[in-house]
Amino acid sequence: MTEFSKKGRRQFLRNSAAIAAGFFIVPRHVLGKGYIPPSDQITKGIIGVGGMGKGHVKYAGTRVVAICDVDSLHLKEAADMIGGGVKTFHDHRELIALPEVDIVHIATPPHWHGIMAIEAAKAGKDIWCEKPMTRTIGEGKRVVEAVKQYGRMFRLNTWFRFEDNFYGMKTTVKPIKKLVDSGLLGWPLTVTVSKHTGFDWKFYWVGKTQLEPQPVPDTLDYDRWLGPAPFKPYHLHRTHQTFRGYWDYDGGGLGDMGQHYIDPIQYFLGKDHTSPVKIEVDAEQQHYDACGTFRKITFTYDDGCKIILDGEAKDPNVAYIEGPKGKLFNGFKSDIPNLQEKIAMMPDPEPQVTNFLDSVKYRQTFALNETNGHRSCTIVNLGKIALQLGRTLNFDPVTQTFINDDEANRMINPPMRAPWNI
Distance of CA 162 to the CA centre of its chain: 14
Q: Exposed, middle or buried by CB within 10 Å (0-12, 13-18, 19+), for 77? A: middle
Q: Is the peptide bond before 213 cis (omega within 30 degrees of 0)?
A: no
Closest CA to 307 of 259, 273, 339, 349: 259
Q: Facing residues of 191 across strands? A: 307, 321
Reply yes or no on whether the pLDDT at 392 is more than 80.
Answer: yes
Q: Is 216 a residue whose pLDDT tops 50?
A: yes
Measure the CA–CA gap between 281 and 254, rounded to whole angstroms.
13
Residue 18, pLDDT score:
37
Burial of 23 (0-12, 13-18, 19+ CB in 10 A): exposed
More confident residue, 198 or 20: 198
Task: Say yes or no to pLDDT of 30 above 50.
Answer: no
260 vs 161: CA distance, rounded Å: 9
What pLDDT score was predicted for residue 21? 35
Closest CA to 43 of 29, 22, 57, 33: 57
In Å, the largest CA–CA distance within the chain is 69
Please say if the pLDDT value at position 353 is more than 70: yes
Q: In angstroms, what is the C-alpha Rg of the chain?
A: 22
- Rounded CA-CA distance 10/50 in Å is 41
Judge residue 406's burial from the number of C-beta atoms within 10 Å of its C-beta, 0-12 exposed, 13-18 middle, 19 or more buried.
exposed
> What's the count of helices (H) and strands (E) in the chain, helices before strands?
14, 15
285, burial (CB in 10 Å: exposed 0-12, middle 13-18, buried 19+): exposed
Helix, strand, or coil (residue 182): helix
Give the pLDDT mean for 193-222: 96
Q: Is the dihedral of CA 247, 255, 415, 156 positive or negative?
A: positive
Question: Is the distance from CB of 162 to CB of 352 less than 8 angstroms?
Answer: yes
Give 96-100's long-range contacts (Cβ < 8 A, gap of 24+).
Answer: 96/45, 96/47, 96/120, 96/123, 96/125, 97/123, 98/45, 98/65, 98/66, 100/43, 100/65, 100/66
Strand stretches in 285-360, DSSP E: 296-300, 306-310, 321-323, 326-329, 333-334
CB 259 within 8 A of CB 160: no
Q: What is the pLDDT of residue 28?
A: 41
d(CA 223, CA 244) in angstroms, rounded, equals: 18
Is pLDDT above 50 for 1? no
DSSP 199: -
Residue 239, classified by CB atoms within 10 Å of its CB into exposed (0-12), middle (13-18) or buried (19+), is buried
How does residue 84 score in pLDDT terms, banded at 50, 70 and 90?
confident
Is pLDDT at 39 greater than 90 in this prediction? Answer: no
Average pLDDT, the chain: 91
Q: Does residue 50 surpass a pLDDT of 70?
A: yes
* The pLDDT of residue 37: 53
Write down all domains in the chain, each with its CATH number in brackets: 3-156 (3.40.50.720), 167-206+243-352+369-410 (3.30.360.10)
Q: From residue 300, give the alpha-carbon distance in Å to each of 326, 381, 391, 403.
A: 20, 15, 15, 15
Say whether pLDDT at 40 is over 90: no
Phi, psi of 358 (to 5 degrees): -65, -40
pLDDT tens across 124-182, in order? 999 999 999 999 999 999 999 999 999 999 999 999 999 999 999 999 999 999 999 99
